[in-house]
């Protein structure tokens, strides 16, 4: 293990060269003039972090940095908080980081940067990273089970093969909804679809707002015998069939064309392809 003070010292020493002169003088002022009030602020933050349990498990952050060679040095230099004496490598604290390569500033949890499995780097650099044979959108899909399968099926962009971009790309690719009743085509950034937090899907399927072209009646007209039957059995008085979409969660009133039985079911339950809802009276017979 290398001496911890080396990394800390280098960390502070290196900073001025990467800062503009105004930022640096402001910083310098803060460190020289403001020593007396900076310390309590740091203590205050440390106590807040302790309260929230953000101090975290594992060894102290800087100790981890010192033990992890070039990678540790880089992470330590990208760290843009007060010196993190209380923080550990496993902390959930959302710290501020500044990319050494592109100068982008972002926030990320401590542990997301130090973990051994899929550590996070600068998101901006990730967007712009070139795809390789081993690391591209297609290989990402192959590694991501059902979700990956769906995305690779829906990717229909002719201009760029899926092996030419990464999963984090900002490229607005063309997609085609894999829902056979939708087949809607739209454009969305690859990153918007692959991200783990709130990824986007087919806007048409997500859109439960009925329109002139997207409503139950239109759907029935396009769906042959099945559509005819459903439009006949739809007897809801509160909403006309043009005011609801086929994928809606609205519980509508239906009247069986066979036995006149009336029951409630959502539009989605009745129009879906596999195991659609049918008249419960006829089903019981």
Residues numbered 152-181 forming contacts with Zn ion, rule: CB under 5 A? 177, 179
- Which of 259, 262, 264, 276 is close enough to bind Zn ion by CB under 5 A? 259
Cα–Cα distance between 193 and 176 in angstroms, integer? 13
Residue closer to Zn ion by CB (options 38, 149) is 149
CB of 204 to Zn ion, least distance (A): 5
Q: Which stretch binds Zn ion (CB under 5 A): 13-21, 91-99, 127-135, 150-158?
A: 91-99
Q: Does position 46 bind Zn ion by CB under 5 A?
A: no
Examine residue 261 and tell whether it contacts Zn ion (CB under 5 A): yes
Distance CA 189, CA 195 (A): 10
Tokens 């419960």 locate to: 280
102 binds Zn ion, rule: CB under 5 A: yes
Q: Is 108 in the site for Zn ion (CB under 5 A)?
A: no
Residue 200 Rama label (left phi>0; alpha psi -120 to 50; beta): beta
258 binds Zn ion (CB under 5 A): yes
**Closer of 65 and 168 to Zn ion (Cβ):** 168
Judged by phi (left if over 0) then psi (alpha if -120 to 50, else beta), residue 18 lies in: alpha
Give the interface segment with Zn ion, choosing from 16-24, 166-174, 187-195, 275-283 (CB under 5 A). Answer: 275-283
Which ranges of 201-258 does DSSP label H, i.e. alpha helix?
203-206, 216-222, 224-233
The size of the chain, in residues, is: 285
How far is the CA of 266 from the CAs of 13, 145, 236, in angstroms? 65, 30, 11
Our finding on whether 189 is near Zn ion (CB under 5 A) is no
Q: Which residues bind Zn ion (CB under 5 A)?
A: 99, 101-102, 104, 122, 124-125, 177, 179, 182, 184, 202, 204-205, 256, 258-259, 261, 279, 281-282
């Amino acid at each position: 293990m290398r001496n911890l003070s080396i990394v800390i010292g280098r960390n502070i020493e290196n900073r001025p060269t990467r800062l503009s002169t105004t930022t640096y003088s402001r910083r310098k002022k803060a460190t020289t003039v403001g020593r007396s009030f900076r310390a309590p602020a740091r203590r205050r933050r440390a106590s807040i972090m302790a309260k929230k349990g953000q101090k975290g498990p594992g060894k102290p952050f800087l100790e981890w940095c010192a033990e992890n060679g070039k990678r540790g040095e880089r992470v330590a230099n990208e760290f843009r908080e007060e010196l993190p004496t209380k923080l550990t490598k496993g902390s959930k604290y959302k710290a501020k980081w500044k990319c050494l390569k592109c100068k982008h500033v972002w926030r990320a949890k401590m542990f997301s940067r130090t973990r051994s499995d899929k550590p996070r780097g600068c998101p901006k650099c990730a967007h712009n990273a070139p795809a390789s044979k081993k690391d591209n959108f297609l290989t990402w899909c192959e590694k991501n089970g059902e979700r990956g399968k769906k995305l690779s099926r829906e990717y229909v962009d002719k201009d760029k093969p899926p092996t030419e971009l990464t999963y984090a790309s900002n490229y607005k690719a063309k997609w085609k909804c894999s829902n056979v009743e939708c087949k809607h085509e739209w454009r969305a950034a690859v990153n918007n679809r692959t991200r783990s937090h709130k990824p986007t899907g087919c806007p048409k399927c997500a859109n439960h707002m009925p329109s002139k072209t997207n409503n139950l009646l239109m759907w029935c007209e396009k769906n042959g015998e099945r559509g005819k039957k459903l439009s006949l059995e739809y007897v809801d008085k509160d909403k006309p069939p043009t005011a609801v979409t086929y994928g809606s969660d609205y519980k509508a009133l239906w009247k069986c064309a066979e036995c006149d039985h009336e029951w409630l079911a959502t539009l989605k339950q009745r129009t879906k392809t596999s195991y659609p809802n049918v008249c419960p009276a006829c089903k019981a017979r």
